Structure 1
Amino acid sequence: MCRINSQKASVKKTFKLDIEGKNRDRVLEATKHEIRKYVKRQRRVPLPEGVDYWDFDCKFGSNEANAAVVHFATITSLIDALAKDGGAEFYLELLAKPGHRAARAAGAEPSDQADRD
């Protein structure tokens, strides 16, 4: 079941990886594609005034009851690890929220430019 809240864009869904008659690897890739599609669609939504980007609160687990808060960037690796261990399904909750960039100190340089000098 997928619930999309119009007030705050969110996805709360249990994805099944073992579907009779379908290749597990194709189901896994289709699941990741669906997640990427949601994120891409949400990032196209116009930003409210004073917001720098769309951020996501994420929960991941083998089911809704044991879902834990995770960082957005780790979702794909968590899905791959669960699939590799033979998990039959997983629960994912994504909640879009306004993100604000933290200002750097006036004299601070990005870390990659410091390596070039």
Structure 2
Amino acid sequence: MKKIFKFTDPKKHEDRVLEAVKHEIRKYAKREKKKTLSDKATMYWDFDCKVGATAESAEVVTFEALIKALDAVKEGGAKEVYVEILAKEVAKPLKAEVSSEDEEA
């Protein structure tokens, strides 16, 4: 999803518009996570995210920090925000096998 959201709406308060943007982002992520993976046992969905006042000034952020970055852009006085979220399949990290020496210690 690559989209520019406006923070102003003549019928809504600015805080409610921001909450609507956050809701749409969460809804998109939930929808993407429902898609089938090539291998559910070893893969999961991850997101590449960018956020900024414009597409040129957008900075790369983690999905967990996306909502806070939206708040920061809003506090900066921007009238709109550019959000880019791209879903990707990622291999789960392998769990380190505990050797018998570590168990004895």
In the alignment, is residue 70 of structure 1 matched against residue 61 of structure 2?
A: yes
> Is the aligned partner of 1:25 residue 2:15?
yes
1:23 Cα offset (Å)? 0.8
Cα deviations by residue, 1:30-88 (Å, 9 ceiling, x for unpaired): 11000000000010111113652111111111111111211111000111122223221
| In the alignment, structure 1 residue 14 sits paired with structure 2 residue 30 | no
What are the residue-to-residue correspondences of 1:20-99 with 2, within 5 Å? 20-49=10-39, 51-99=42-90
TM-score, scaled relative to structure 2: 0.84
Q: Partners in 1 of 2:86 and 2:35 — Cα distance?
A: 14
Distance 1:70 1:17 in 2: 20
| SS of match in other structure, 1:26 | helix
- Identity percentage over the alignment? 44
Q: TM-score, normalised by structure 1?
A: 0.76
Question: Where in structure 2 are there 5+ consecutive unaligned residues?
Answer: 100-105
CA distance in 2, matches of 1:55, 1:32: 18
What's the CA shift for 1:91?
0.4
Moved over 4 A (4+): none
Output the aligned Cα RMSD. 1.6
Corresponding residue SS for 1:66: coil
2:98 corresponds, among 81, 93, 107, to 107
Q: Which residue of 2 aligns with 1:6?
A: none
Q: 1:97 Cα deviation (Å)?
A: 0.5
Q: CA separation in 2, counterparts of 1:83 and 1:66?
A: 14
Give the number of the structure whose alpha-carbon radius of gyration is greater.
2
